Amino acid sequence: MWRTVARRLVIMIPQILLLSILVFLMAKAMPGDALTGLLDPSIDPAAMDAQRVRLGLNNPWHVQYWDWITQAVQGDFGQSFRFKMPVSDLIGQRMMNTVWLSLATLILTYLIAIPLGITSGRFNDTWADRLITGYTYIGFAAPLFIFALLMLWVFGFHFGWFPTGGSVEPGTEPGTVQYVASKIYHLLLPAISMALITTVTTVQYLRSEIIDTKQKDFIITARAKGASEARVYNRHILRNSLLPIAAFFGYEITGLIGGTIFIENIFSYPGMGQLFLSSISLRDFSVVTSLVLLYGAASIIGALISDITLSIVDPRIRIK
Amino acid sequence: MDKAPIPISSAKQPTAKQPNKSPSGWKIIWREIVRDKVAFISLIFLCLVILSVFGISLVLDQEQIVSVDLFSLKQPPSEQFWLGTDYGGRDVFGQLIIGTRNSLSIGIIVTVLTGLIGVLVGLVSGYFGGTVDNIFMRFVDFFMILPTLMIVIAFVTAVPKYSIVSFSLIMTAFLWMGIARLIRSKALQEKEMDYVQASRTLGSSNLKIMLVQVLPNLSSIIIVTMTLNLAANIGLESGLSFLGFGFPESTPSLGTLVSYATDPQTLESRWWIWLPASLLILVLMLSINNVGQALKRATDARQRKG
């Protein structure tokens, strides 16, 4: 067990290293450097060169890489020239919004997936199963951004049930009940839109898991011993099928990141995804590279958590 | 392992000893699609869309469609403009046709390129195994975890001379890993088969075994994956164009038409601009997926309908 964890951790080191090199190369390929964000472009070129030398921007690339990575590890991601503030502060402001959105989506994903998957798997080939399978078929093919746009159009604009942008009603005091309620209200439509699409793979997985487990010998044994239908499902089948799903949540992080970029853009929700897109269009590259680094690291750590939990849940897949 | 995709070559051999010769791979695929009504309708729909889009776009003048016309800004649908015009007075219907053509073309290009790289890497990795395999797969694992969308967007903006070619290359660079992993696992199973051992004993070179003997046996899986990937790639391209990091506005794609909906006024009251493109993407992806699922069933005897 501990050997698996240790091995998995060792695999992560080159991954993080590779990610940082990729992001560094990307940053170098982008027009402008750290200095463009700090100074007025109309300044004397000679003074600019002196600053370049002082900041080490004329050093060989491996020296620059080392400086950059040691600073990033300490939480110093440079300056945003658009907001004239440290990137880490800027990201800190937006981070919680995206975390709430992702969390709400994850919870809704499981809330939708588990009952649908169980119904579909337990009563397979009935009309309910056909309905659910049809939904997963469409949800699997539908691109998230189109589905989210349609949801916004129908429920945000046409019916006016939900707010069409922002993360909170302007003018509400942080800390009050109204503030929290308004936050949840603004969160609901984006999170439902995303969850309805991300949930389909889990529904499909759960359905085929249950149908598979249903025919296994130990279920036949349980039935033969007189276990009630409810007990067979709750104690024997679900315990087998639900655990892997709980462990998948780490892998979901990569998907959630892609999703929040679209969702935050469509619902004008001020999170990191929106910050990423607006920074790219305004060429605020220190923010862009920091966000890619952050998101990449989050995905790698998510996969790590999932791999480790899965190896605890299912010893057969431990790394040899 | 699925025995269904009987290599086409073996089906052609004279089978005097067995009167019931098993049908060829293509026949099975065709039968499966015809049996599955949804997939059959999807296939016909796809053919119609492809034919009409490429046909009509031969007649349409792209220059004229994407040029701004100040006398017909934001018009609702009429006889002259079937789907109205956008804020630049450009005909939405014409953009829809050209956009579908562009989206389909880039989807096909990226699918073929990722397919080529993925099959090559997967085949080599799975066939040889050992260190090569280990290095390749760690690499693939790494890229599979990364948030591809963000990185593609970042690279798209970082490239100095941005064009359709560089766009497809960037997409390809980050999308070949899935198919590589799949082909690798199949090649790993395939190389343990007796025919590979026999061929090796007879002195065939590794290259010959890989390309002439193993590859045809994987062809059905490759076709299925590439069909499903085509849908995914069209979705990704339109998603990127929607966010403004795919095709430039002068080259309409389905995504650029949908991106007009980011303006709340257009979203709320001028549905004819963005809704047709959205529905077309939806239906296209559904149809391609339906065909892909039917192909998948054809390659797996246990799932077949007929």
Could you report the per-residue pLDDT of B24-46, keeping only the tens digit for each? Answer: 667 777 777 788 888 889 889 99
What is the predicted pLDDT for the residue at A245?
A: 81
- Asked if residue B84 has pLDDT above 50, the reply is yes
Task: Give the whole-angstrom CA distance, residue B172 versus residue B165.
Answer: 11
Partner A contacted by B148 (CB < 8 A): yes
Whether pLDDT at B11 is above 50: no
Highest mean pLDDT pick, B1-15, B229-243, B265-279: B229-243
| CB neighbour list of residue A46: distance below 8 Å, 6 or more residues apart | none
Rounded to the nearest angstrom, the minimum Cα separation between B156 and chain A is 10
DSSP for B27-61, written as a single string: HHHHHHHHHSHHHHHHHHHHHHHHHHHHHHHHHS-
Asked if A153's CB is within 8 angstroms of B157's CB, the reply is no
Cα(A199)–Cα(A105) distance, rounded to whole angstroms? 9
Start-to-end CA distance of chain B, whole Å, equals: 20
Q: Provide the 3-class DSSP secondary structure of residue A111.
A: helix
B216: left (phi over 0), alpha (psi -120 to 50) or beta: alpha
Is residue A196 a contact partner of residue A85, using CB atoms and an 8 Å limit? no
Whole-number mean pLDDT of chain A?
A: 83
> Has residue B110 got a pLDDT over 90?
yes
For the domain spanning A91-317, the CATH number is 1.10.3720.10
Mutation choice for A interface testing from B140, B143, B145 by most A CBs within 10 A: B145
Q: Chain A partners of B262 at a C-beta cutoff of 8 Å? A: 265-266
Query: Model confidence over B152-195: pLDDT tens digits?
Result: 888 888 777 778 888 889 899 989 998 999 999 888 888 888 88
Percent of chain A with pLDDT over 90: 14
Give the mean pLDDT of A216-241: 83
pLDDT average, residue stretch B249-262? 82
Q: Is the pLDDT of residue B274 over 50?
A: yes
Distance between B107 CA and the closest CA of chain A, angstroms: 14
CB of B166 within 8 Å of a chain A CB? The answer is no
Higher pLDDT among residues A271 and A313, named by residue = A271
Give pLDDT, residue B191: 84
pLDDT band at B304 (very low <50, low <70, confident <90, very high): low
Q: For residue B205, give how far its alpha carbon lies from the nearest alpha carbon of chain A (Å).
A: 32
Do A272 and A104 contact (CB within 8 A), yes or no? no
pLDDT digits (tens, 9 = 90+) for B113-138: 999 999 999 999 988 888 888 888 88
**How many Å lie between the alpha carbon of B207 and the closest alpha carbon of chain A?**
30
Closest approach of A243 to chain B, Cα-based (Å): 21
Taking the whole predicted model, whether its pTM rises above 0.80 is answered as: yes
| Higher per-residue pLDDT: B77 or B164 | B164
B-chain residues near A291 (CB < 8 A):
150
pLDDT above 90 (res B301): no
Inter-chain touch A296–B264, beta carbons under 8 Å? no
Mean pLDDT across A247-260: 83
Domains of chain B in start order, with CATH, are 26-69+80-304 (1.10.3720.10)
Q: CB-side exposure of B71: number of CA atoms within 13 Å? A: 1
Predicted pLDDT at A116: 93
**Surface of B (247-306) touching A: CB under 8 A:** 258, 261-262, 264, 267-268, 271, 274, 278, 281-282, 285-286, 288-289
Give SS3 for A79.
strand
B269 vs B249, more confident: B269
CB contacts, 8 Å: B142 with chain A = 14-15, 18-19
The residue of chain B nearest to residue A137, with distances taken between CA atoms, is: B286
> Tens digits of per-residue pLDDT, A61-92?
777 788 888 887 777 777 777 777 888 888 88
CB within 8 Å of A74: residues ≥ 6 apart: none
pLDDT at A57: 67
Local confidence band at B15 (pLDDT 50, 70, 90 cut-offs): very low
Q: Mean pLDDT, to the nearest integer, of A148-155?
A: 90
Query: For residue B17, is pLDDT > 60?
Result: no
Q: Do A138 and B244 touch (CB under 8 A)?
A: no
